[in-house]
Structure 1
Amino acid sequence: MNHRFSNTLIGLLNLLTLLASIPIIAAGLKMAKNRTTCESFLQTPLMVIGFIILVISLAGFIGACFNVAWALWVYLFVMLLLTATLLAFTIFGFVVISEGGGVQVSGRVYKEYRLQDYSPWLRKRVEDPHYWRTIRTCILGSNTCAKLASWTPLDYLQKDLTPVQSGCCKPPTSCNYGAATMLAQDPDCYRWNNMPNLLCYECNSCKAGVLEDVRSNWHKLSVLNVVMVILLICIYSIGCCAYKNAKRSETDYPYGENRMKRVEPRWDFYWRRWWRDRRDFLY
């Protein structure tokens, strides 16, 4: 690849990613000042990603524009690690989200969700009491269920619900609360409470609804990750060309190494020179 083109292109790409890292870091700092529990989940990952992009882009920009070989070497090394990590994370994500999905309820538009349908790794996250308390606080703070307070029974027949609303804001549709009911029911039917701060927040259906929401968002993120991996591989290839160009520029010769190496004289050089000097002196 042409010397100027590869260096200019890698410099431009890193300038764009450098500028893109600024709003990411700003968003993380803003979340740090916000007391909303939901946003605090993204605070640390956003700031870490922002700073990594900032450092990598800065190294790549300096190395490409000023032909600093060591900066480009650091850039390429970190880029390789970042690409490998992102690829592993993407594969893991597709494996985790391969299980799950809702069950259509007869006569209703919305679906209901069962915790046992999701991968063990995801179930372990929401079954942890400490982790679930944080999520529960997040749902309460978002007023997700408050939006359904004015719904009529007809609305539940005609309108759709989000996974969280379906699992956390109402009991399972199969529940029967008649006085004469003697049949065994879903355990979530007994966890339901009409109190606005209780509802079905301790139900397995609520945890399943949260996992379905996570699964949906993770699927979108995994598709984006595939695009990012391809883009990073392309940028890495251009960066390799820029690194080779930076190494060449250190020799002040655009087509490769052109410095003469030191030549050591043969063993008889000094003897012959001494004999010539003596002969000239005598004659």
Structure 2
Amino acid sequence: MSRFSNTLIGFLNLLTLLVSIPIIGGGLWMARSTTTCESFLQRPLMVLGFVILLISLAGFIGACFHVVWALWVYLAVMLFLITTLLAVTVFGFVVAGPGGGVEVPGRNYKEYHLQSYSPWLRKRIENPDYWMTIRSCILGSKTCSKIVMWTPVDYLTRDMSPIQSGCCKPLTSCNYEAPMMTQDPDCYKWSNDPSVLCYECDSCKAGVLEDVRRDWHKLSILNIVMVMLLIGIYCIGCCAFQNAKRDDSYPSNRMYKVRPKWNFYSGGR
């Protein structure tokens, strides 16, 4: 039974070690994404991925080589990891839950409004220094150059990404023949200059947050699966730890029982 438990926990830790790779890859994908240009949600994900990788390696070694103290450390860190991963997942759902676009009549794309998103996300994205970094990223990604040659028919029939909708064009409601005081403030910020466009618009910031929201929801599914898997592995690991403790104490118990017989026969001689 002990050998089976240790073999099972070793195999499962090998599995979580392999599963941690997509988590790290997901964080790297968010960091390198040419459309998201965000970093404040994928960093915790990457840290957790690397922690899972290291603790799974430690659990695998401890189970295969029957190292009791290594299994104890493994279980303690695993409990902390499960709690942290669960907290990060819940936090992600809370801060990335509000949002979504508004349908534009006669168009296939949606438009996005900053006030639709959580205060925590808005506070981060409205920081001038932080926004300059994201703005430079969007410019470097050439996201808007992909729709620069669109015709009026394209704008009526084709879809756009949230960033393209928010950053690359003025709001559909803008009417530049009407008095500007009656327009949305973003209409004042729009310019035909390719280096300006609507990069200072609230709609552009909202488009970035919508990309973050969509990416985080996809990765949260992986987080939930990982939490369930880690809980199952933790329960099995507790059994393996108890078995390893019994195996570690068994030789000393056996010597304690044998020694009196050895002394008895020696005394008879």
Coarse TM-score class (shorter-chain normalised): 0.7 to 0.9
Taking a change above 3 Å as real, the CA distance of residues 23 and 221 of structure 1, as seen in their structure-2 partners, is closer
Structure that is richer in helix per residue:
2
- What does the per-residue CA deviation read over 1:107-136, in whole Å, with 9 as the maximum and x for residues that have no partner? 111110111111101100100111111111
Alignment correspondent of 2:236 = 238
Q: How does 1:184-199 map to 2 (within 5 A)?
A: 184-199=182-197
Aligned partner of 1:273 in structure 2 is none
CA separation of 1:25 and 1:225: change in aligned 2, threshold 3 A: closer
Give TM-score, length-normalised by structure 2.
0.84
Moved more, 107-116 or 91-100: 91-100
The 5 A counterparts of 1:139-154 are 139-154=138-153
Check 1:71–1:221 CA distance in 2 against 1; reply closer, same or farther (3 A cut).
Answer: same
User: What is the Cα deviation at residue 43 of structure 1?
Assistant: 8.6
Structure 1 residue ranges, 4+ long, deviating more than 6 angstroms after superposition: 22-29, 39-43, 256-259
Percent identical across equivalent pairs? 71
CA distance in structure 2 between the partners assigned to 1:25 and 1:231 by the alignment: 17
The alpha carbon displacement at 1:233 in A equals 0.2
Query: For residue 238 of structure 2, what is the amino acid of its counterpart?
Result: C
1:218-275 deviations in Å (ceiling 9; x for gaps)? 111222211111111001011111111110111236xx977759xxxxxxxxxxxxxx
Equivalent pair of 1:113/1:209 in contact (CA under 8 Å): yes
- List per-residue Cα deviations over 1:62-99 (Å, max 9, x = no partner): 21111111000111111101100111111112222221
- After superposition, the Cα gap between the structure-2 partners of 1:25 and 1:221, relative to the gap in structure 1 and judged at 3 Å, is closer
State how 1:1-283 maps to structure 2 within 5 Å: 2-18=1-17, 38=37, 48-178=47-177, 181=179, 184-252=182-250
Structure 2 partner of 1:270:
none
Change (3 A) 1:38 1:187: closer
Alignment length (residue pairs): 255
- The one-letter code sitting in structure 2 at the alignment partner of 1:61 is F
Task: Indicate how the Cα distance of structure 1 residues 182 and 3 shifts in structure 2: closer, same or farther if over 3 A, else same.
Answer: closer
Give the 3 Å change call, closer, same or farther, for CA 40–87 of structure 1 in structure 2: closer
- 8 Å contact from structure 1 (residues 251, 259) kept in 2: no
Q: How many Å apart are 1:57 and its aligned residue? A: 1.6
CA deviations on 1:130-186 (whole Å, 9 max, x unpaired) are: 1111111111111110000110011000001111110000000011122x6355100
* Higher gyration radius (CA): 1
RMSD, aligned CA: 3.2
Cα contact 1:108–1:156 (8 A) shared by 2: yes
Residues 92, 216 of structure 2: 8 Å contact kept? yes
CA drift at 1:48: 3.4
Q: TM-score, normalized by length of structure 1?
A: 0.80
- Which segments of 5 or more consecutive residues in structure 1 lack a partner in the other structure? 262-283
Tell me, which stretches of 5 or more residues in structure 2 are unaligned?
258-269
Q: Which moved more, 1:75-84 or 1:223-232?
A: 223-232
- How far residue 44 of structure 1 moved from its aligned partner, in angstroms, is 5.8
Distance 1:39 1:121 in 2: 14
- The secondary structure found in structure 2 opposite 1:252 is helix
Q: Output the CA distance in 2 between the equivalents of 1:244 and 1:88.
A: 28
Change (3 A) 1:241 1:153: same
Q: Matched residue of 1:177: which SS?
A: coil
